[in-house]
Amino acid sequence: MTIDTSALIAPHGGRLVDLVVPPEKREAALRHAEALPRLALTARQLADLECLATGVYSPLDGFMGELDYRRVLDEMRLADGTLWPIPVVFDVDEANLTGIGDAAEIALSWEGRVIATLRITERYEVDKPLEASAVYGVDDAEHPGVAAVRELGDVYLAGPVRLIEPELHGSFDSYRYTPAQSRAEFARRGWRKVAAFQTRNPIHRAHEYLQKVALETVDGLFVHPLVGQTKSDDIPDDLRIRTYEVILERYYPQDRIVLGVFPAAMRYAGPREALKHAIARQNYGCSHFIVGRDHAGVGNYYGTYDAQRIFETLGPEDLRIIPLPFENAAYCTRCAQMATRKTCPHPEDDWLQLSGSKVRAMLREGVRPPVEFTRPEVADLLMQGVRRVG
């Protein structure tokens, strides 16, 4: 039975892209792909491929050509003027170029099996310093996003992709909604206004506060943690998912939440990545997007609220999803509750504030995060998980 999703927000650019080969055509598509020159995907390329093929990156239908690439760097626009903040590109090095020669189409493999094809419409050289400065605001090798750009191959291949094997992972399958599937789920529940929450960390009390304030104004909440490539010192994704399951089961209304996983690779691009995350969640069917402090930031490269201010530079035609900006939230010992500067009169000396890096350091040292920072069940899992990893 087809579920009517027309009451939900339109996808970015007006249509939801679907580049997955239909089941009845996969055998023939695989035979065709097996005869093509082959390149092995990196983890970042795999994440981008999945996002392109399933419509997460609508309206993109493949890896960007040079006109799109240059305008995205200069203006955060595709060549046709559509808002797009970060390049989605396919890099190759000299050895790979030699291997594929002048092929017009190549097969893409993951863990030794062919899963997709790329029809090459263009090859162009990377401007790594320009890309780093435009996307990340700095050309500093200490920035993980800049370091990743510097490690890319020197040539980008552009062109449309087709995903032949959509079963890429075997992990978090019950939470791996495509945009079409999340839209169907929201419509089945009768939701029209849906707030999305992006995270790459376990949910702590400040997150919970923001989510529940947002829930007061919308029909449902889409908790949507990123499970693509992240920094090596981030909490492992399997442990994070377990913390989400526990806290959502015990402290949230089950009829008003959906837990999904976001397959994108983390760029740590601060304001520009906040826009990219919002665009993706619009494609998933969300009408609102929670933007907290230092969204997608790393270190001290971005201002606390830069990721919120970038939305203020857009026109109403640029992005339909509505940002929900929140002040920094923390537990106030004098108020004895979660608060922000908008609701609490007390000095920050009375606030318990712990960054993700501080919490990771506490866990490595065997120090249990306090109940004012995170729920006991989450603290238990984190302590067990760090012991397991260590």
CA atoms of 361 and 368, how far apart (whole Å):
11
Q: Which of 201, 205, 267, 281 is catalytic?
A: 201
Q: How far apart are CA 274 and CA 82, in angstroms?
A: 16
Nearest Cα neighbor of 213 from 324, 312, 364 is 324
Sequence-distant (6+) residues with CB within 8 A of 97 are: 123, 155
Phi, psi dihedral angles at 28 (to 5 degrees):
-70, -40
**Rounded Cα distance, 250 and 21, in Å:** 39
Q: Show Cβ contacts of residue 82 under 8 Å, excluding neighbours closer than 6 positions.
A: 12, 13, 59
**Whether 201 is catalytic:** yes
What does the block give as tokens for 98? 């030699």
Which is nearest to 178 in space by CA: 279, 58, 56, 265? 56
Q: Is the peptide bond before 370 cis (omega within 30 degrees of 0)?
A: no
In the set 44, 71, 176, 200, the catalytic residue is 200
Active site residues: 200-201
